[in-house]
Structure 1
Amino acid sequence: MTNTDKIILITGASSGIGAATARRLAGDGHHVVAGARRKDRLDELTRRIHADGGSAEAAELDVTDPSAMTAVVEAVLSRHGRLDVLVANAGVMLLSRLGALLVPEWDRMLDVNVRGLLHGVAAALPVFERQGSGHLVTVASVGAHEVVPTSAVYSATKFAAWAITEGLRQEARPGIRVTTVSPGVTDSELADHITDRYAQEAMRAYRAAVISADSIAAAISYAIGQPPDVDVNEIVIRPAGQRPPS
């Protein structure tokens, strides 16, 4: 590795933005630790990265389990001696009307989108502070900046992710960088898990125009690739002409 190579842990790396980011950052010359629950997908992802000449490893990880998050970070430190970047990408988007009362789905979004991010901060921040350097990249959503019908709980969790990341930015010691990336409609499997029929119909129209997960990966690569004295605080990326569903 050269002095510019980084050890990067990515959560939610088994598909979508996480997988695209793993491929992009490995292609940039960094070593990627791809974390997610679906180990079979991670193994295929790392195989592809190795075939393309990149460096990567898989780490089975459920971000809702704080001890699992800590264990993965400790394993990275044991193997590589440092952790340079945490890309906190794991998230779920279970849109529904509040009147549908899908309380278990609300709880799932809180567990993954908010508590999962906090577990990542709790595991990585002490490492960054000891090192005197580190970079947290949170993948939030344009839902952090707008609420539309069916997005109340999802937007609340993504605003919380934005707020947590912004708070860390203000509190972080010199040498620690913090970035929030807020994607608009992106080609991923997030919408496939929506069960509310009203939300499903709204998303069909809303997703008429999407951008690729590779576009979000490129933005993350840009933020990570800046000189140590440059902190890209926030990037909002939408398809050209994206408007909220009516």
Structure 2
Amino acid sequence: MLKLTGKTAVITGASSGIGSSIAKHLAEEGANVVLAARRKEKLDALAEEINGIKQGQALAVETDVAQKADIDNLVQKAVGAFGKIDIFINNAGLVQNGAIRDGQVDKWDQMIDVNVKGVLYGINAVLPDMIKRSAGHIVNTDSVSGHEVTKTSGVYSATKYAVRAISMGLEKELARTGVRVTNISPGMVETERNSERLPNDRKPLQTDDIARAVVYAVAQPEHVNVNEITVRPV
């Protein structure tokens, strides 16, 4: 039997990269997946691909995580289609490097809206029902930039430190409720957005590497809570 048969997972930032790989791996384990992102055409293509495999079912919902109304709509459609949400993966993220002294306020606002407020909106939308059912799993995609800061990552790292803090605080809040929390911190991953920033001295991580870490965490027995996973290249 597949590990996640009968489960429903919502994945934000699912139109490409890590989010797309997470969705595929969860569906391969039998989960129904609700795909959320702003690029509807890519979501539809991914949903068609997953549905063609005929394991977990896929539903695409155009979503801007920085808009609370969009997140509420996403959750409503997921519940309407599959009855409940077992796993919510806050994967959508925005990377915009630059020194703080450059004063790029618009970029700061965008990163805070997506990386911090988007995560909180997702948690807020699904948590009451999870607590009511004494079951559920929230997975937040952080970054190694939430552990380390460079001279051009100050604001981005701050948003990812915030994701770690939210994850750690939420895990303590939810102790003994039956709701689990996992924080995933990927190192540099080879995606369409990172191709020019990859190091030349070692093999970069692939999106599937992160997806497998997510499957590992969410497929654990219900009494096991994997709180933190950091994935780095060798």
Q: TM-score, normalised by structure 1?
A: 0.89
Q: Measure the CA separation in 1 of the matches of 2:201 and 2:178.
A: 39
Is the contact made by 1:185 and 1:210 (CA closer than 8 Å) also made in structure 2?
Answer: yes
The answer for unaligned runs of 5 or more in structure 1 is: 193-199, 241-246
Closer, same or farther: CA 21–204 of 1 in aligned 2, 3 Å: closer
Specify the code of the residue in structure 2 equivalent to 1:71.
N
SS of 2:138's partner is: strand
1:218 aligns with 2:206: no
Is the contact made by 2:198 and 2:204 (CA closer than 8 Å) also made in structure 1?
Answer: no
State the 1:105 CA deviation. 0.9
SS of 1:112's partner is: helix
Q: Measure the CA separation in 2 of the matches of 1:110 and 1:70.
A: 19
Deviations 1:172-200 (A, max 9, x none): 142100000000000123447xxxxxxx7
Deviations 1:56-93 (A, max 9, x none): 11011111111110121122222222110001000011
Q: Measure the CA separation in 2 of the matches of 1:212 and 1:23.
A: 14
Pairs within 5 Å for 1:21-32: 21-32=22-33
Specify the code of the residue in structure 1 equivalent to 2:180.
R
Is the contact made by 1:36 and 1:59 (CA closer than 8 Å) also made in structure 2?
Answer: yes
SS of 1:180's partner is: strand
1:14 aligns with 2:8: no
Deviations 1:12-45 (A, max 9, x none): 0001000000001000110000111100000010
Residue of structure 2 in register with 1:236 after alignment:
230
RMSD: 1.9
Q: Measure the CA separation in 2 of the matches of 1:37 and 1:211.
A: 25
Choose which of 189, 192, 199 in structure 2 pairs with 1:189: 192
Is the contact made by 1:185 and 1:209 (CA closer than 8 Å) also made in structure 2?
Answer: no
1:160 aligns with 2:162: yes
Pairs within 5 Å for 1:1-246: 4-54=5-55, 55-172=57-174, 173-191=176-194, 203=197, 205=199, 209-240=203-234
Specify the code of the residue in structure 2 equivalent to 1:62.
D
Specify the code of the residue in structure 2 equivalent to 1:30.
A
Q: Measure the CA separation in 2 of the matches of 1:209 and 1:101.
A: 34
- How many residues are treated as equivalent by the alignment? 231
Q: Measure the CA separation in 2 of the matches of 1:169 and 1:57.
A: 28
The answer for unaligned runs of 5 or more in structure 2 is: none
SS of 1:226's partner is: coil
Q: Measure the CA separation in 2 of the matches of 1:205 and 1:47.
A: 34
Q: TM-score, normalised by structure 2?
A: 0.93
Specify the code of the residue in structure 2 equivalent to 1:187.
E
Q: Measure the CA separation in 2 of the matches of 1:84 and 1:108.
A: 29
Closer, same or farther: CA 47–150 of 1 in aligned 2, 3 Å: same
Deviations 1:218-240 (A, max 9, x none): 00000010000000000000111
